[in-house]
Amino acid sequence: RQPTLQGRVRFGTPADVGTRILPGLLALFARSHPGVEVDVSVARSIDMIERIDTGELDLALVTIGNLGQDDSRGEPVHSEPLVWAGRSGGIAALRSPLPLALASPDCAWRRQALDALDRIGRHYRIAYSSEQTSGQEAAMIADLAIAPYPASLLRPPLQRLDGQYGLPPLGDYRINLLRGSNRSEAVDILAEQVIAAFVEYRNPRS
């Protein structure tokens, strides 16, 4: 515990891998640095970049590859395969046109998926649109559609569909950490712990 450290950190994250890692990380940070307040915002990456630039956020995790976004900004902290996912035993992947559950048009996952399908000439339709991964999960669990999804987020009854149904590879999903103009000790310590949390996420101890 370091109760002498005081301050406030305004932190932004997209609603995907970041939200799986942050609860444990923030709980640990709150115990070790009880004098620091952490305000968390969940939003689109493009919106968080704007808030970093206007000084409304001190740190932000952003997904790389979104339309209109400078992907050279920030520090790479995470990369993993983006895969096709659907309900185990489901039939959505057999339908034609292929039903998809996707996010907004500027979303990196959506662009990777549609570009990959266009390259092989696969017919598809957007059957379900949602800004949150929970919406995509709901559509897949209901077997209404399949979706591009980070491999580490898959949980039963969802399964990876890569290598089946003629689905094309999607490449990697990447996250960068952006820092704002406020470079206080509290901000720097939380940034270090975020980076360490992603290392642990990729390489969990047995």
Name the DSSP class of 26. Answer: H
Please provide the size of the chain in residues: 206
Q: What is the pLDDT of residue 5?
A: 86
Amino acid letter, residue 30:
A
Number of Cβ atoms within 10 Å of the Cβ of 157:
12
- Angle in degrees, CA 83, 98, 157, rounded to 5: 50
pLDDT for residue 3: 56
User: CA of 17: how far to CAs of 5, 50, 176, 204, in Å?
Assistant: 28, 21, 12, 15
| Single pTM value for the model | 0.89
Residues with Cβ within 8 Å of 198's Cβ and at least 6 positions away in sequence, in order, are 21, 77, 78, 175
Taking a C-beta distance cutoff of 8 angstroms, is the pair 145, 118 a contact? no
Could you read off the pLDDT tens digit of each residue along the chain, which spans 206 residues? 545 789 999 999 988 877 778 888 999 999 999 999 999 998 888 899 999 999 999 999 999 988 778 888 999 999 999 999 999 999 999 999 999 999 888 889 999 999 999 999 999 999 999 878 888 999 999 999 999 999 988 999 999 999 899 999 999 989 999 999 988 999 999 999 999 999 988 887 75
**φ, ψ of residue 30 in degrees (nearest 5):** -65, -35
